[in-house]
Amino acid sequence: MPDRERVDREKRTTLRRFAAVGAASPLAAFVDAPDRDSDARGAIAGYLSTTPGAHFSKIRDDLSLGTGETQHHLRRLVDAGAIESHADGEYRRYFPAGQFSVFERTALGYLRRETPRGMLIALLSKPETTGSAIAERLDVSTATVSNTAADLEEAGLLSREDGYAVEHPETLLTLLVRYADSFGSEAVTLADRADELLRYDPRAE
């Protein structure tokens, strides 16, 4: 029983923390009057305000919700027009409604994946980085880097005409900086250099 009480207490703390974020976001108007269910919906709204592009399982696990509970509240928020969902391969990703362009939603979907995010961060940090250097940095095979690069090119995030070059780097950098905490330490490090990187123009060399 003590273990169950501890888990419940941690869950309530997590929900309240994200619900507080949701209350300060534009999604607050879509959350019902306070009750146990609205705490969960408020938490999801707050979570997606800080972690747009999260997929179902990550939302469920990070908020310590049940599968059915998560499905129910996501459906309520979608029906209310607060959030929208988009298929991304085997995932369905969720975003605050009306806040992101098609390109930004696509970019956020790839930035939520470890290897594509690592590749894009490496290239934004140092545009001349080679595929083999990326593979070593990410501790993956060169074949993985090549296959991921092909996916990123098809999505419009990368050019492979002359080595690897990030497409729309300002947009990608802005997304990485704005949601750096949700992407991990490498994104936070990149965010600290954002001003320097935005002023960098590789064509000037």
Write down the pLDDT at residue 2.
53
Give the CATH number of domain 104-204: 1.10.10
pLDDT one-digit tens code per residue, 100-112:
999 999 999 999 9
pLDDT above 70: residue 204: no
pLDDT (mean) for 173-181: 94
Give start-end residues of each CATH 1.10.10.10 domain in the chain.
2-99
Residue 72 has pLDDT above 80, yes or no: yes
Pick the CATH number of 2-99 from 1.10.10.10, 3.40.30.10, 3.10.450.50, 1.10.150.120: 1.10.10.10
Residue 70 has pLDDT above 90, yes or no: yes
Per DSSP, the three-state class of 166 is strand
Reported as a pLDDT band with limits 50, 70 and 90, residue 162 is confident
> For tokens 């590749």, what's the residue?
119
Long-range contacts of 106-109 (CB under 8 A, 24+ apart): 106/155, 106/156, 106/157, 107/157, 107/168, 107/171, 107/172, 107/175, 108/52, 108/53, 108/175, 108/179, 109/53
Q: Does residue 37 surpass a pLDDT of 60?
A: no
- How large a percentage of the chain has pLDDT more than 70? 78
Edge-first strand order for the sheet with 83-88 is: 54-55, 91-96, 83-88
Whether 21 has a pLDDT exceeding 70, the answer reads no
pLDDT of the residue at 87: 92
